[in-house]
Amino acid sequence: VVTNETIAPLYLDATVKALQEDNPELQVDSVVLPDGEQFKSVDTVMKVWDKALEARLGRDATMVALGGGVIGDMCGFAAAAYQRGCHFIQVPTTVMSMVDSSVGGKTGVNHPSGKNMIGAFYQPRCVFIDIDSLKTLQPRELSSGIAEIVKYGLIYDREFFEWQEENMEKLVECDPAVLTYAIKRSCEIKAEVVAEDEKEKGLRAILNLGHTFGHALETATGYTKLLHGEAVSIGMCMAAYMSSSLGWCDESIFYRTKALLQRANLPTDLSGSLGELDPNHLLSLMAVDKKAAAGKLRMILLQGELGNCVFTGDFDRDVLKATLAHYCDD
């Protein structure tokens, strides 16, 4: 069981007990990692491999990722590489990991030059979601996960976006029925997209709306000032603003996106404690984005009616620069 210092006191003993309930002889080992995006590195994953070797685990072992997106990504990568691949299971404990990172098989760690640059596509044997684990989730972490829920409506499902506009307060308050539907629908959308394009050759890239901007913001701020969903929230606003500036979508979509994210208690601009950000530095960080091809930056931008987007490298670079300048100046 791979978990972190925050989750271990809450759920590790219960998880081990559940695993051994019908098989008391089952060997269950655990490793507790430091908590935080800044620890999402090869050095941290090495602790998982060290424990696996110390416990003499074979290729028939199963690694259980108990935690949020950082734990899931690192555990999945550890499983993908350990003896060239052992089984792993996702047990997400945050909204972010339930609706996004636990589904689809993306695993990996960060590099000082960019987010998630080292990793593998490696599918879990199953994903087990228990929304009761969200009762201990901090409000800021809850909002961070909601950013990804908003994303699904923007890129794929207009009705889902409009449903969120009607139910955002209940979602923030963790109304069980509303929360369950939001998680279920988000997983359905992601599964549909991943089924068509597991290795992200084209369609799957739409799931990264706002992430090109967001990953650059996370890297520029040292992974310490923004939660992933907060960076994505700002990134989606920047992408919507840029799409509107290009004339690809009506500006009302930008304003609706910004308003919905604000109702989820998410940041929508670069104000606050982020410090001074240089648009040229952000542009250079975006240039090493994983979606780039043949040295050309490609982005997910909104196009047409709400619920539609496009993955393309054919856009006016001056509008991108103007978008970065606008947000950094603000």
Active-site residue set = 84, 106, 148, 190, 200, 204, 208, 211, 215, 228
Contact present, 49 and 25 (Cβ < 8 Å): no
Report the distance separating Cα 55 and Cα 208, nearest Å: 37
**CB neighbour list of residue 117: distance below 8 Å, 6 or more residues apart:** 108, 110, 111, 288, 290
The vertex-61 CA angle with 57 and 66, nearest 5°, equals 105
Q: How many CB atoms lie within 10 A of CB 165?
A: 13
